[in-house]
C-alpha cells in the first residue's frame, strides 16, 4: 500500500520556469537567449550539484559571452522570482495527502539561488525535501532517490514519485518507486486513477479536490 507521495518542483508543483528565467537573464545581460542557454548547459550539472556558486557561474558564462557579469546580488534568484507561478491544485493536493496521514516529499534538481524562494514562501505540506545542490547529486542518478527514501523512512514500493521529465521517471523506476509522468493535470488524474488498486484511498483524496475535476473523456472505460 502506498504511504508516501513525492513531487518534483519545476513543471509539477509550479509552471516550468526555465524559459522565462533565461529570457529574463538574457534581457538583463543584453545577449540572445539561445546563446545564453547554450552557455548554461556547460555548467548546469556543476551548478545544480552545488559544485560552483552563482558568482562563478556568471563569471564563466559572461566571459564566454563577452559581456560583464551581473552586479546585482543574485540574477538567478531575481529571474526565478519573476518566473515563479504555482500550480495551486498540486500544492492543495500535497496538503490534503499530508492531512490524511501520507508522508509527502519534494525532490528537485535545483540550485541554492532558487531554494531561497522555497524557504521565503514556506511550504509546510512537505515532510521531506531533497535538493540536488545540497546533496551533490542530481536526478536521474539512483543515489538521489535512495537519499529520498532514507529521509522518508519508507521502502520504495510504498512511494509514488511524480515528475515531468521521462529521464527522471526512469531513474526513479530503477530503485523501485511507483511513478507518474506529469504532463497535464487532467492526464495526471487519469494516471493516478490507473494506480488506484495500489494506491488505496489516495485517488479519492485527489477527487475530493475540486480543482482536479476530470473531463468525462478521461474516466476509465
Taking the C-alpha atoms of residue 81 and residue 10, their distance in angstroms, rounded to an integer, is 13
Predicted confidence (pLDDT) per residue in 111-126, tens digit: 999 999 999 999 999 9
pLDDT for res 214: 44
Architecture of domain 4-15+85-218: 3-Layer(aba) Sandwich (3.40)
Q: How confident is the model at residue 186 (pLDDT cuts 50, 70, 90)?
A: confident
Is the pLDDT at 47 greater than 50? The verdict is yes
What is the percent of the chain with per-residue pLDDT over 90, rounded to a whole number? Answer: 83
Domain 18-83: which CATH number of 1.10.150, 1.10.760, 3.20.20, 3.10.450: 1.10.150
Average of pLDDT values for 42-54?
Answer: 98
pLDDT for res 189: 86
pLDDT for res 219: 30
Sequence ranges of the domains in the chain: 4-15+85-218, 18-83
Predicted confidence (pLDDT) per residue in 138-163, tens digit: 999 999 999 999 999 999 999 999 99
**8 A C-beta contact, residue 85 and residue 18:** no
Is the pLDDT at 199 greater than 70? The verdict is no
Taking the C-alpha atoms of residue 143 and residue 114, their distance in angstroms, rounded to an integer, is 22
| Grid cell locating 73 | 546580488
Q: Hey, which residues does 29 pair with through a beta bridge?
A: none
**8 A C-beta contact, residue 7 and residue 29:** no
- Long-range pairs of 151-155 with CB within 8 A, sequence gap ≥ 24: 151/105, 152/4, 152/6, 152/103, 152/105, 152/127, 152/128, 153/103, 154/3, 154/4, 154/103
Is 0.85 topped by the overall pTM?
yes
Is the pLDDT at 207 greater than 80? The verdict is no
Amino acid at each position: 500500500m502506498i504511504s508516501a507521495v513525492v513531487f518534483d518542483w519545476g513543471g509539477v508543483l509550479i509552471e516550468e520556469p526555465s524559459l522565462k528565467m533565461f529570457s529574463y537573464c538574457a534581457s538583463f545581460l543584453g545577449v540572445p537567449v539561445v546563446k545564453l542557454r547554450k552557455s548554461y548547459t556547460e555548467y548546469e550539472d556543476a551548478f545544480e550539484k552545488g559544485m560552483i556558486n552563482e558568482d562563478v557561474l556568471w563569471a564563466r558564462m559572461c566571459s564566454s559571452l563577452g559581456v560583464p557579469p551581473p552586479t546585482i546580488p543574485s540574477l538567478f534568484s531575481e529571474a526565478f522570482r519573476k518566473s515563479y507561478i504555482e500550480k495551486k491544485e498540486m500544492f492543495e493536493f500535497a496538503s490534503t495527502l499530508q492531512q490524511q496521514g501520507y508522508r509527502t516529499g519534494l525532490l528537485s534538481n535545483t540550485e541554492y539561488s532558487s531554494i531561497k524562494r522555497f524557504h521565503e514562501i514556506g511550504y509546510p505540506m512537505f515532510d521531506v525535501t531533497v535538493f540536488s545542490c545540497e546533496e551533490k547529486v542530481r536526478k536521474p542518478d539512483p543515489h538521489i532517490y535512495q537519499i529520498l527514501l532514507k529521509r522518508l523512512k519508507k521502502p520504495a514500493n510504498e512511494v509514488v514519485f511524480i515528475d515531468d521529465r521521462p529521464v527522471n521517471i526512469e531513474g526513479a523506476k530503477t530503485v523501485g518507486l511507483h511513478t507518474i509522468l506529469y504532463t497535464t493535470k487532467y492526464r495526471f488524474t487519469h494516471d493516478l486513477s490507473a494506480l488506484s488498486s495500489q494506491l488505496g484511498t489516495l485517488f479519492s483524496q485527489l477527487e475530493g479536490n475540486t480543482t482536479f475535476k476530470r473531463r468525462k473523456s478521461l474516466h476509465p472505460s
